[in-house]
Structure 1
């Protein structure tokens, strides 16, 4: 039973986190970065590594 609970918790965590990931390209599409939970808290976005981002369509 404990093993089932661990697997269920792991599955829930993975399912939740994979739903909150994505990819953003800069305006001239020469650079992009992946984010895990939200684009604003991505390290690449924070340091401005790719410049201004293109507006992303809402999914």
Structure 2
């Protein structure tokens, strides 16, 4: 029973994370970054790796 609970928990976490990932690129399409849960909390966005995305 314990293995079933662990397997279900892992499957739920993977399904949640795969549904919340994505990629954002700037309008010039010369730089993009991936995010895990939300684009605003991406490490690349925080350090300004691509500069402003809206330009």
* TM-score normalised according to structure 2 size: 0.90
Deviation string for 1:5-52 (max 9, x for gaps)?
000000000101111100000121101010000000001001111012
Unaligned runs of 5+ in 2: none
Residue matched to 2:29: 29
Provide the TM-score with structure 1 as the length reference.
0.85
Q: Count how many residue pairs are aligned between Structure 1 and Structure 2.
A: 54
After TM superposition, what 4+ stretches of structure 1 lie above 6 angstroms from structure 2? Answer: none
More helix by share: 2
Aligned-CA RMSD value: 0.9
Which 5+ residue runs of structure 1 have no aligned equivalent?
Answer: 55-59
